[in-house]
Structure 1
Amino acid sequence: MADYRAPTRDMRFILNEVLDAARIRALPGFDEYEPDTVDAILEEAGRFAGSVLAPLNRVGDTEGATWSPEGVAAAPGFGDAYRQYVEAGWNGLTGSPDHGGMGMPRVLGSVATEMWNAANMSFALCPLLTASAVEALSHHGSDEQKARYLEKLVSGEWTGCMDLTEPQAGSDLAAVRTRAQADGDAYRLFGQKIYITWGEHDVADNIIHLVLARLPDAPAGVKGISLFLVPKFILDDAGGPGARNDMRCASIEHKLGIHASPTCTITYGEEGDGALGYLVGEENRGLACMFTMMNAARHKMGLQALGVADRAYQAALTYARDRQQGGTAIVEHADVKRMLMTMRSQIDVLRALCLDTASQMDVAESSDDAAERKTAQARVDVLIPIVKGWGTELGVELTNTGVQIHGGMGFVEETGAAQYLRDARIAPIYEGTNGIQAIDLVGRKLLRDQGSAMKALIADMRATADGTAPGANAHPGLAAALDLFEQATDTLIAGGQDVAMANAFNYMMLAGYVVGAWYAARIADVARVALDGETDETDFYQARQASARFYIRQILPKARGYAAMVAGGPDAVDMVDAARHL
């Protein structure tokens, strides 16, 4: 398995040259987001990812987490790596200083998240879920819950997880049956949850579960779901882990990939009076709390796909440079160059998309201007399903391309290429399948406001395409794709719910390729300015131009196909009789 080298120069390029770093630095609380600090954090995070996490990726895949009636044991080396991760302060990088965090912006935390996932996706899922628990408690927890739990979660001394779905429910949370009964100021939970990532393990002293359940008099459907904080160990009078709660891991799943990430079935109330839990937020308002967790997690899914794709690219490039065929290294073969640039160009734009979305999240949360916060949040709402949906589709496609570049050696496990593909395959499924992301994009984010947020995004992209944005050249390829995308947007708005639902996935993919082209154009413009001036990094900027040019000429044409699918309307789907045609 090839070593991992964090692409810190590429990350700095996006952070400092393509995005507006000064805008983030000007936000309240982010004055330490200075180039020297950013560089130091990137270098140290890259070192930790490459030297501590990456070497465990293979053993995590081959040996994985193990279950016993006493609990779940993490894969060999994971406990020590997690201890180092916490002691180095990485878990608190973007955490609030009020709870012991460093208070850095999300956009910087996002590059670290990419590194952790590139180095070891199974490991990275643990702090990713903890961050989701922090999100939920920060926004919806009581003052007492914040005081008792946030500092330990922000530091990573305790981990968090989301306990949402059940065997009969799947993505339909209206079918959740886990029940909660009042017990004084607390509640007792009974039921079962499945697919709980890092729901049981031995790398931290406590695990804080955020569980969806129903109260006895709750309304039917999603309007009757509440959210509860359920600790593995009930806190004692000193605030530390005390008695074991009445919840157990009944089993862990045997999966295609991410073998070192324990995916648990958790039962509540099978051995006593029920699992002790505490209401988070208001009764029957658990879905709103859940989406606070889910939106942040969905952004991280895009970063996860980006990280694994970049790791696969690095491995494929190393192999192609070393592998001789026909008297030359295969990296010189035209079709291999095509495949490598297919990977590289899309990794470049996906990184820009993920980091730009994170920067908009920073503005939406931290700006002292209400109008600016609202505008940024509207942009985040539109981009999140593209980050998660299109981004994770790319993750599978690009790791698959990495296997192909390895040829026969990619189909055997020793090179590691197959693991990247197997690990990446889960990302389009969890945290809401990509079909759900597409429905979210066209239903909640397009039809609800008649496309106003999407049209604002199109206007910004149009300024780059026309060369009217600061520093932009004209980009005819992007302009033509925007015409198709604008037509598709109008088609869905005019057609209403039925047309939008039948075309949702194709529209999401179309949006992804066009938005990707916008970032490719911006990357090319920045590189052009650098090359027109004085730079000692000519090769770097020429490589960025080559990548952007390849994307526009070889990747963006896919948008025409998706636009044609949307223009064709829902008839091809609606005419299918499920009983007779499938």
Structure 2
Amino acid sequence: MANEYIDVETLKFLLNEVHDLEEILNLPEYNDHDSDSIDLLINSVKDFSDKEMYPYFKEMDENPAHFKNGEIVVHPQVSKYMKASGEMGLLAGAFPYKDGGMQLPSTVMNALGYIQEAANNHLPGYIGLTIGAAELITHFGNENLNQTYVPKMLNGTWGGTMCLTEPQAGSSLSDIVTSATPDGDRYKIHGQKIFISGGDYQGAENIVHLLLARIDGAPAGTKGISLFVVPKNRPDGHGQLAPNDVETVTDFEKMGQKGYCTTHLFFGGNGDCHGYLVGELHQGLKYMFLMMNGARIAVGRGAAAICAAAYQASLKYAHERAQGRKLASTGKKDVHQEQTLIVNHPDVRRMLLLQKVVSEGALSLVLLTSKYQDLSKSLQNAEEREKYALLLEILTPIVKTYPSEMGRVAVDNGVQILGGYGFCSDYILQQYLRDIRIFSIYEGTTGIQSQDLLGRKITMENGKALQLLSNEIKTTIKAAMVMDNLQAYAHTLGDKLQLTQDILKSLLGYAQKGDYERFLADATPFMDYFSNILIAWLWLDMAREAQQALLTGSKRHNTTFYESKIHAMQFYFTYELPKTTGLAEIIMNDKALTIGSKQKVFGNEY
């Protein structure tokens, strides 16, 4: 069981060799930790996941969270996991010492989260949202809010959520109507929130909602939104809890992640829901978005983990399932031969390699983005902090999107490898496919992320973030050019960077003319294109590190491990990177086929 869902060796290779965790641990904020202690932590979380998470993965899908008698019934392991996470420090890990945390870097926390997500992606969301809600309170809440709520959230006694979406508004947060009416030192909250992950469940003593609402008389749009702590049960200051007029309306039944409840909540149906302002008036969306980078990295991490677990399941099956025979030199099959394992068929290997390059490339992207997050917060030099903050900004929409979108494609290939069995509930691939589908919707859909990338991040500060990222890629290209077996791949990646400039020149021409609809119409194909190039960069960097280890003999892993990384890079550059040529042709085409009147686009169908 210990190796069924994750390749820890690859995780450690990426963490320590490719992304140089030591650089982060040498910063003053994190220098109480060292590589050995982090290695032990990784091993302990893997052991915990083996025993307390992975065994319940299929069971939680077969016995999903559901609404009954006014509350959400979840698998008993949810409450056990919350409490165990508090005891192990998984909730408090990233928090500073002053808040009772372990002061671990985001890079390490995401590595630990990745292991848990791969073991059972239904459980980590419960602690992830609790961490996010507690972070908002520690960053922006007053001392009373911090003392009242944060300790019990970080020890796993109370859960936490973020309440943004409303029935009539969806992703358009400027249209939220949940109201907050001043009432002494608090506010009366009234409204509904939907799709609230971990919003309520049986066995939770309390849920602390971080809720966006509009104070009476506030400006229209996003500028009039404030942030509130709204507990399910409000503490009375003497250790007792009183109901706070937060009603659970229902739990949404989903195609995947069935063990992770998703609720519809009604606040203030009886006029007695108390909310407590976090920070300043009308700054709620700003506060929420300061936490959004971490949330979007976590979504990408979860998708990368599911993709990796599906790859391990596919690989195991391919090494056990005998079917068909290898072609002889005559081009014909010898029916007298024994059947061969399907892993020996080239087309099955192609699908397995696709799963491998997507899952490991996605993990590398998650760890790199996490590293940029750590450097942007903790470097001493302000100019360097700004550099990594810009790199973090441009990678955030990509780290959320690539693992979610290409991870789904990779898992779908895993189902194909199993053939008919892949479609049957006896095998786990169908569950991974259902589970991963939500990740391209979480924390802003792919379309929203794509418009953010092209419309904001590419153009921010006159393209400074893009230039910094290009410089990082060119550094890898230069280092790979000195290695004979990597030169051709380095040249190819350099050519793709030039093609990117041509694409942006074409698109920015529309923006300069004020035709922003045309500029952003193909933002999603551009996301596909740009993500593909970034993953190619990360694979070239992995191959460079592997080749360096082989040349110098300073190997933490065996020769076969490093050679397989170089082979995977070659596969990516041969099978995946060429797809950017077709995408470039789409993006630079002057036909605007998705713009115009509905009648023109859909004809009689409309």
In the superposition, the TM-score normalised over structure 1's length comes to: 0.96
Write the distance in 1 (CA, Å) between the matches of 2:366 and 2:441. Answer: 19
Q: Tell me the CA shift for residue 469 of structure 1.
A: 8.6
Specify the alignment match of 2:380 in structure 1: 368
Write the distance in 2 (CA, Å) between the matches of 1:413 and 1:391. Answer: 24
Contact 1:305 1:394 in 2 (8 A): no
Write the distance in 2 (CA, Å) between the matches of 1:201 and 1:470. Answer: 57
**1:563 corresponds to 2:584:** yes
3-state SS, counterpart of residue 313 of structure 2: helix
Larger radius of gyration: 2
**1:305 corresponds to 2:325:** no
Write the distance in 2 (CA, Å) between the matches of 1:192 and 1:503. Answer: 34
Specify the alignment match of 1:522 in structure 2: 541
Write the distance in 2 (CA, Å) between the matches of 1:135 and 1:121. Answer: 22
**1:492 corresponds to 2:492:** no
Contact 2:209 2:232 in 1 (8 A): yes
Contact 1:192 1:266 in 2 (8 A): yes
Question: Which stretch of the first structure deviates more once superposed, 559-568 or 174-183?
Answer: 559-568
Q: 2:523 aligns with which of 504, 517, 535?
A: 504
Q: Deviations over 1:265-295 (max 9, x none)?
A: 0001113x33111111221111101212322
The list of structure 1 runs, each at least 4 consecutive aligned residues, that deviate by more than 4 angstroms after superposition, is 468-473
Task: Give the counterpart letter for 2:454 in structure 1.
Answer: V
Task: Give the counterpart letter for 1:136 in structure 2.
Answer: L
Q: 1:422 aligns with which of 422, 434, 439?
A: 434
Question: Which stretch of the first structure deviates more once superposed, 213-222 or 23-32?
Answer: 23-32
Matches within 5 A, 1:198-347: 198-238=198-238, 240=239, 242-271=241-270, 273-326=271-324, 327-347=339-359
Write the distance in 2 (CA, Å) between the matches of 1:526 and 1:131. Answer: 34
Q: Deviations over 1:141-195 (max 9, x none)?
A: 2233223222222333222101111111111112111111111111110111110
Matches within 5 A, 1:367-516: 367-467=379-479, 474=487, 475-496=490-511, 497-516=516-535
Contact 2:348 2:417 in 1 (8 A): yes
Question: Which stretch of the first structure deviates more once superposed, 180-189 or 485-494?
Answer: 485-494
Contact 1:498 1:570 in 2 (8 A): no
Write the distance in 1 (CA, Å) between the matches of 2:155 and 2:459. Answer: 40
Write the distance in 1 (CA, Å) between the matches of 2:7 and 2:342. Answer: 23
Task: Give the counterpart letter for 1:488 in structure 2.
Answer: I
Distance change in 2, residues 1:203/1:359 (3 Å): farther
- Number of residue pairs matched by the alignment: 579
Specify the alignment match of 1:61 in structure 2: 61
Write the distance in 1 (CA, Å) between the matches of 2:398 and 2:33. Answer: 27
Write the distance in 2 (CA, Å) between the matches of 1:202 and 1:469. Answer: 58
Contact 2:208 2:230 in 1 (8 A): yes
Distance change in 2, residues 1:469/1:44 (3 Å): farther
Q: Tell me the CA shift for residue 471 of structure 1.
A: 8.4
3-state SS, counterpart of residue 67 of structure 1: strand
Write the distance in 1 (CA, Å) between the matches of 2:34 and 2:236. Answer: 42
Question: Which stretch of the first structure deviates more once superposed, 532-541 or 11-20?
Answer: 532-541
Distance change in 2, residues 1:505/1:548 (3 Å): same
Q: Tell me the CA shift for residue 571 of structure 1.
A: 1.8
Specify the alignment match of 1:540 in structure 2: 561
Q: Tell me the CA shift for residue 506 of structure 1.
A: 1.2
Distance change in 2, residues 1:500/1:4 (3 Å): farther
Contact 1:323 1:330 in 2 (8 A): yes
Write the distance in 2 (CA, Å) between the matches of 1:533 and 1:466. Answer: 19
Q: Deviations over 1:109-139 (max 9, x none)?
A: 0111111211111111111111221232232
Q: Which structure 1 segments of 5+ residues have no match? A: none
Matches within 5 A, 1:150-229: 150-229=150-229
Question: Which stretch of the first structure deviates more once superposed, 167-176 or 129-138?
Answer: 129-138
Question: Which stretch of the first structure deviates more once superposed, 199-208 or 522-531?
Answer: 199-208
Q: Deviations over 1:412-468 (max 9, x none)?
A: 111011110101000111211110001111122123323221122112212322447
Task: Give the counterpart letter for 2:172 in structure 1.
Answer: D
3-state SS, counterpart of residue 227 of structure 2: strand
Write the distance in 2 (CA, Å) between the matches of 1:570 and 1:16. Answer: 47
Distance change in 2, residues 1:512/1:172 (3 Å): same
Specify the alignment match of 1:135 in structure 2: 135
3-state SS, counterpart of residue 226 of structure 1: strand
Write the distance in 2 (CA, Å) between the matches of 1:461 and 1:429. Answer: 29
3-state SS, counterpart of residue 121 of structure 1: coil
Write the distance in 1 (CA, Å) between the matches of 2:291 and 2:111. Answer: 19
Q: Tell me the CA shift for residue 23 of structure 1.
A: 2.0
Distance change in 2, residues 1:215/1:470 (3 Å): farther
Task: Give the counterpart letter for 2:572 in structure 1.
Answer: Y
Question: Which stretch of the first structure deviates more once superposed, 397-406 or 304-313?
Answer: 397-406
Q: Deviations over 1:459-517 (max 9, x none)?
A: 22123224479989531221122121222233333331334311211111111110101
Question: Which stretch of the first structure deviates more once superposed, 368-377 or 74-83?
Answer: 74-83
Write the distance in 2 (CA, Å) between the matches of 1:134 and 1:485. Answer: 40
3-state SS, counterpart of residue 157 of structure 1: coil
Q: Tell me the CA shift for residue 18 of structure 1.
A: 0.6
Specify the alignment match of 1:578 in structure 2: 598
Contact 1:211 1:229 in 2 (8 A): yes
Contact 2:79 2:203 in 1 (8 A): yes
Task: Give the counterpart letter for 2:579 in structure 1.
Answer: K
Specify the alignment match of 2:361 in structure 1: 349
Write the distance in 2 (CA, Å) between the matches of 1:149 and 1:555. Answer: 48
Contact 1:252 1:262 in 2 (8 A): yes
Task: Give the counterpart letter for 1:495 in structure 2.
Answer: Y
Distance change in 2, residues 1:498/1:133 (3 Å): same
Matches within 5 A, 1:76-91: 76-91=76-91
Write the distance in 2 (CA, Å) between the matches of 1:225 and 1:420. Answer: 37
Q: Deviations over 1:202-244 (max 9, x none)?
A: 3432211011111110111111111111011111214x45111
Matches within 5 A, 1:33-48: 33-48=33-48
Task: Give the counterpart letter for 1:424 in structure 2.
Answer: I
Contact 2:267 2:273 in 1 (8 A): yes
RMSD (CA atoms): 1.9
Q: Which structure 2 segments of 5+ residues have no match? A: 325-338
Specify the alignment match of 1:8 in structure 2: 8
**1:549 corresponds to 2:570:** yes
Write the distance in 1 (CA, Å) between the matches of 2:379 and 2:282. Answer: 31
Distance change in 2, residues 1:470/1:133 (3 Å): farther
3-state SS, counterpart of residue 181 of structure 1: strand
Task: Give the counterpart letter for 2:251 in structure 1.
Answer: I
Write the distance in 2 (CA, Å) between the matches of 1:372 and 1:157. Answer: 39
Contact 1:499 1:570 in 2 (8 A): no
Distance change in 2, residues 1:383/1:321 (3 Å): same
Contact 1:503 1:570 in 2 (8 A): no
Contact 2:71 2:200 in 1 (8 A): yes
Task: Give the counterpart letter for 1:267 in structure 2.
Answer: F
Q: Tell me the CA shift for residue 529 of structure 1.
A: 0.9
3-state SS, counterpart of residue 325 of structure 1: coil
Contact 2:362 2:402 in 1 (8 A): no
